[in-house]
Amino acid sequence: MNKNYKDSIPDWLPPALVKDWRQMLRTPLFMLGLLALGLLSFGFLLPPESEVLYKASYMPFVMMGTVVLCGLVPARVSQTVEGETKNPGTNFIRLTPLSSWQVVWGTWLSGAVQVVMLALLALPLVMLRMGHAPAGQEGLHLAAHLLLLLLLVLQGWTMVALAQASSSLPMVLRLFVFVSLLGSICGMDYEMVRVLLREQVSQFAGMYLLSVAALGVMLLTLLAEARRQYAHPAEDCVTPVRWFSMLAVVLYGAALLLNQAGLLGDYSWGCYGWAVWFVLGMAVWEVLHPVIGSHRGLLISGKSGMWGGVVWFSVAVGVCMLVGLPLLWTAYQKWHTLAYISKPLPPVYDLLTVYAYAWLTLLVGVLAALLLSQIFRRHSAGVFAAVLMLGVVVQGLDNMVAGLLPVPSWELLAMMAHLHMCDADRIELVQACSVVQVVWLVLLLAIFRMLTRRK
């Protein structure tokens, strides 16, 4: 009997975690990566002389943390799950007494542990930096930074769940989903850090709701993954997914109400961002699931087909528009809180016009893409993949948040309204950019359609 193996890993750990853990520990790249990141993070220990640099130098650290925790670790998990799905390994696991939830949970836990492990590398750094503020400057708020670290961990966990769920998608599509989500998270982190540096931890409610919202998305994603990959075809896992999605929607509703009461301030951007991504994520899934293959839709039956998905998507966009209206009004009233906009308030009708324009752009783009995809479906996948990759590189480097998916984030919207109102010379530029965005979206969705069509 092999005593080394027998005593190495405790019995109570989930089997899927044990499996991934063993494989990970035998991967030299992972161990080297861990060491390199640990060493690299200490570069941020050196405090710059000026206050501005002192605060600004923290951003690269946060961005690096986001990329590692929310990008690299989830990507690795996705790769592992993909490898398992491609061979009958998944089938073997499906035949064990493990429930589908246990399998998915264990795999997720493996990624989550890696995220925590990497985040812990930064903990001494944060603690040390607290006591090394430049002369005459107050040290950064400890609680704020710990909270930020926790937020990164939470986002990393959510990304691991999303990575698991997207592991069976074609590589190009997966890359797209990843870059988009990572871009959105980076953008949100930027906002969080900005507010944390300015106001420190003054508004926990927003953080709390954002965290719960992230957990909701994570659980929902894992459930969907469990149903899709590991459940017996006869098992009905739709019901719990519905419950969780309803829960998440209620939470977002609560966030919006709190925002209306003026309790959240800038943090509502984050909550609203999650709401948008959540609803749009489900909507996009609904659009794509009939063409991806035999997967069922998340909220509606697969029998509704592609046009059923389009209808659902249109309804979702409409709901998003309506839900966003009160928030738009609140943002309008708090225009001055956006630090980077110092211009006077635009007229309300201008703001509403831009708002409607942004959403309609998205809706028309999706519908046009679906129609266009019918024309392009016989073209070579390689050409479109190359275009996509080029777009990912160009847009991703430029601005990952607004680049790939022109979701009318508040930042983008505010800037558009701002330009539209206050800088007449640049209206044409905004319009031109919008057209480019629409064309880009149409092209992307056409590629989706082509890459994921039934063989």
Partner 1 sequence: MANALLSVRGLQRAFGEVQAVRDVSFELERGQSVGVIGANGAGKTTMMRILVGLDLQDAGSICFDGVAMEKEPQKLRGRIGWMPDAFNPPANTTVWEYVDFFARAFGLRGEKRDAEVTRVLEFCGLKELQERRVDKLSKGEQQRANMARMLIGDPELVVMDEPAAGLDPRARLEFKHCVRELVRQGKTLLISSHIISELAEMCDSFILMDKGQVLRHEGCEEMRAAGSAAQRLVYEFRLAGAGAGALQQALEALPEWEQVELLAPDAVRAVYAGEPGEPLALQLRTLAAEHLLVQAACRQVSLEETVIDLMNGHE
Q: Which residues bind partner 1 (CB under 8 A)?
A: 1-2, 5-6, 11, 15, 18-19, 22-23, 26-27, 83-84, 86-89, 91-99, 232-235
Burial class of residue 398 (count of CB atoms within 10 Å of its CB; 0-12, 13-18, 19+): exposed
Measured from the CB atom, the residue of 104 and 419 that comes closer to partner 1 is 104
Report, in Å, the least distance between residue 51 CB and partner 1: 48
What are the φ/ψ torsions at residue 235 (nearest 5 degrees)?
-75, 140
Report, in Å, the least distance between residue 15 CB and partner 1: 4
Measured from the CB atom, the residue of 100 and 452 that comes closer to partner 1 is 100
Measured from the CB atom, the residue of 306 and 430 that comes closer to partner 1 is 306
**Residue 334, CA distances (Å) to 68, 256, 448 in order:** 34, 15, 39
Measured from the CB atom, the residue of 51 and 235 that comes closer to partner 1 is 235
Burial class of residue 397 (count of CB atoms within 10 Å of its CB; 0-12, 13-18, 19+): exposed
Measured from the CB atom, the residue of 101 and 332 that comes closer to partner 1 is 101
Report, in Å, the least distance between residue 231 CB and partner 1: 8
Report, in Å, the least distance between residue 180 CB and partner 1: 29
Measured from the CB atom, the residue of 4 and 342 that comes closer to partner 1 is 4
Report, in Å, the least distance between residue 325 CB and partner 1: 44
Interatomic CA distance for residues 397 and 289, integer angstroms: 29
Nearest to 49 by CA among 131, 134, 128, 138: 134
Report, in Å, the least distance between residue 26 CB and partner 1: 4
Measured from the CB atom, the residue of 87 and 342 that comes closer to partner 1 is 87
Residue 58 and residue 44 in contact, taking contact as beta carbons nearer than 8 Å:
yes
Measured from the CB atom, the residue of 81 and 121 that comes closer to partner 1 is 81
Q: Which residues of 305-334 are buried (b: 16+ CB within 10 A; e: fewer)?
A: ebebbbebbeebbeebbebbeebbebbbee
**Residue 197, CA distances (Å) to 143, 201, 237, 295, 351 in order:** 12, 9, 43, 44, 29
Q: Determine the 3-state secondary structure of 184 from DSSP.
A: helix
Residue keyed to tokens 């990008």: 71
Report, in Å, the least distance between residue 238 CB and partner 1: 15
Interatomic CA distance for residues 332 and 346, integer angstroms: 9
What are the φ/ψ torsions at residue 44 (nearest 5 degrees)?
-80, -5
For residue 83, what are its two tokens? 């490898």
Report, in Å, the least distance between residue 229 CB and partner 1: 12
